[in-house]
Structure 1
Amino acid sequence: MEYETRSGTEVPAIGLGTWQMDTYTAYESVATALDLGYRHIDTAQAYGNEFGVGRAIAEAEVDREDVFLTTKVLPTHRSVDAIVTSVEESVERLGVDAVDLLLIHWPNPLADLETVMGGLNTAIDRGLARHIGVSNFGKDRLDRAREYSDAPIFTNQVLFHCWWPQRDLLQYCQANDILLTAYSPLANGAAIGDPLLSEIGERYGKSSAQTELRWVTQHANVVTIPMSTSRGHLRQNLDIFDFSLSRDEHDRITRPSYYRTGLSMLRGQLGL
């Protein structure tokens, strides 16, 4: 496993995302992932599966302090009190004293960003979270969030894959010591079987999915949270740190495409 370290905290470069998992599925997947060696788990209030995630962590033969746990606040919570109350409820569902990382899930144009960041900071002050961050923020909004926050912005969790490499945002994060947490790194499955990824991966005895995940994790300041419910795929996703892509291979894989990104997002929304 490789790690990124921010604010004295090590974050495993590969974690497990639990989007589109119900509580039971999340329980099964997190339990399997922890058994295989995962120590980075991501959930959200919007997913409705925090109870299952927390139960899997509680029952695992892994110390709580060894698991980096993230949850995300619904952006419909627009006041400090509403945000803090929702985090108290999340912590209770998860069965933990605090989460390691608390994010606002996406920008709400009706919410005051300074108030939102105040709510996240209050959650830290009350011992409900160790670190805070944002999700789905562009560079300008991320810059303003930093201005409004007393605590450092630990991460910005965003869509990131070889067809959506987010170069400007990544450079901003790298310049300001902010992690970029990549969700949907396999482009909702579109990267699986991609001819170029398959060709390059074959040189290393790796699948197209493993090659794409290595492309993601070879970026400085980037960690990722691919979603999987299959024990075999979970094991394969973890098995990517015994090879490195060359600069030429890395550059060839990077193929920005609005078209392919749009198709992959539609695929994800339809659950294909």
Structure 2
Amino acid sequence: MNIYFQKSFQRGFGTYPLKGDELRRAIEAAIDVGYRAFDTAQMYGNEADTGEALAECGVPRSELCITTKVHPDNYTDETFLPSVETSLRALKTDCVDVLLLHWPPAHGEIAPSLRMLRSALERGLTRSVGVSNYTAAMMREARSIVDVPLVTNQVEFHPLLNQEKLLAAAAETGIPITSYASIARGEIFKHGLFSEIGETYGKSAAQVALRWIIQKGVPLNTMSTKPANIRANFEIMDFTLSSIDMQRIDALTATGYRIIKPGQLPWVPEWD
């Protein structure tokens, strides 16, 4: 089974942009409510803080799913594997559960970094591999380049953005999508529909948006520093949105709200 589709890992805790004591307290709260999947990255600058918090959290390493991502600046033969080894030391683990390429390379040629990713898997530095921020075309190309399973393409996915092309590519390639920016960094709260629907189920606007993602078959990551919100973001498995409510939310994807836009970072591709 794909690690992200194991019941205990469908809801991951994202660590960006937290650091230091703020991150430690957030991870403690997340562990307390039941999170067992944690997402970090070289780019976040918080792998060591994440590793320290998880080492002290009281949960056996075998029960955790730790994901980190390789910075595009490290997509070279000289720096890729050493950077992963540095990440492992920071995270206080011999092997991460999931290692992702954080972005496509700036020049657009994805094959070299995918082969380096496979090398990390072969050397036992990670249990599984995947990508992040790939377009549908890149997903298809990646499937033809590497013959090991890619367990995810982690992308911006929320109810204010139509990602049907990526969902179709996931079905075609067998590379599932997982979600970041799952509540569009708060943008969903500008749309009253989520609160309206939430009243029917006794749930908050955020819980409705997150449940919509889960019912799309997409595991998700959320981040908060507030214990009440951390708990609420986790407690989304005890209700089911009706097909009519799913369709009402589907209509909001036409909003086309995207957080990460081409040109915002050197590696951002032209989105589908």
TM-score by length of 1: 0.90
The whole-number CA distance in structure 1 between the counterparts of 2:3 and 2:215 is: 21
Counterparts in 2 of 1:120 and 1:101: CA distance versus 1, 3 Å: same
- 2:179·2:220 contact (CA, 8 Å) conserved in 1? yes
The whole-number CA distance in structure 2 between the counterparts of 1:166 and 1:78 is: 27
Counterpart for residue 211 of structure 1: 208
Counterpart for residue 234 of structure 1: 230
Q: Which moved more, 1:21-30 or 1:63-72?
A: 21-30
The code of the aligned residue for 2:227 comes to R
Q: Deviations over 1:50-109 (max 9, x none)?
A: 011111111112111111110000011122341111100000000001110001101123
The whole-number CA distance in structure 2 between the counterparts of 1:177 and 1:249 is: 28
Counterpart for residue 15 of structure 2: 18
The code of the aligned residue for 2:30 comes to A
Counterpart for residue 162 of structure 2: 165
The code of the aligned residue for 1:133 comes to G
Off by >3 Å, runs of 4+ in structure 1: none
The code of the aligned residue for 1:235 comes to R
The code of the aligned residue for 1:26 comes to L
Deviation at residue 7 of structure 1 after TM alignment: 6.8
The whole-number CA distance in structure 2 between the counterparts of 1:150 and 1:9 is: 21
The whole-number CA distance in structure 1 between the counterparts of 2:223 and 2:4 is: 26
Deviation at residue 203 of structure 1 after TM alignment: 0.4
- 1:188·1:265 contact (CA, 8 Å) conserved in 2? no
Counterpart for residue 244 of structure 1: 240
The code of the aligned residue for 2:178 comes to T
Counterpart for residue 68 of structure 2: 71
Q: Deviations over 1:103-144 (max 9, x none)?
A: 110112336422101111111111110111110000111111
Whether 1:123 aligns to 2:109 is: no
Number of residues paired by the alignment?
260
Matched position secondary structure for 2:134: coil
The whole-number CA distance in structure 2 between the counterparts of 1:231 and 1:8 is: 24
Q: Please, what is the CA RMSD of the aligned residues?
A: 1.9
Whether 1:180 aligns to 2:181 is: no
Matched position secondary structure for 1:15: strand
* Aligned pairs (5 A) from 1:26-175: 26-110=23-107, 112-175=109-172
Counterparts in 2 of 1:18 and 1:114: CA distance versus 1, 3 Å: same
Quote the sequence identity (%): 38
- Name structure 1 gaps, 5 residues minimum: none
2:194 corresponds to which of 188, 194, 197: 197
Matched position secondary structure for 2:11: coil
- Name structure 2 gaps, 5 residues minimum: 265-272
Q: Deviations over 1:156-179 (max 9, x none)?
A: 000001111300111221333322
- 1:182·1:224 contact (CA, 8 Å) conserved in 2? yes
The answer to which structure has the higher strand fraction is 1
The whole-number CA distance in structure 2 between the counterparts of 1:207 and 1:85 is: 44
Matched position secondary structure for 1:29: helix
The whole-number CA distance in structure 1 between the counterparts of 2:109 and 2:75 is: 7
The code of the aligned residue for 1:114 comes to A
- 2:211·2:236 contact (CA, 8 Å) conserved in 1? yes
Q: Which moved more, 1:188-197 or 1:88-97?
A: 188-197
The code of the aligned residue for 2:244 comes to D
Q: Which moved more, 1:249-258 or 1:197-206?
A: 249-258
Matched position secondary structure for 1:62: coil
The whole-number CA distance in structure 1 between the counterparts of 2:167 and 2:5 is: 20
The whole-number CA distance in structure 2 between the counterparts of 1:139 and 1:217 is: 20
Counterparts in 2 of 1:9 and 1:210: CA distance versus 1, 3 Å: closer
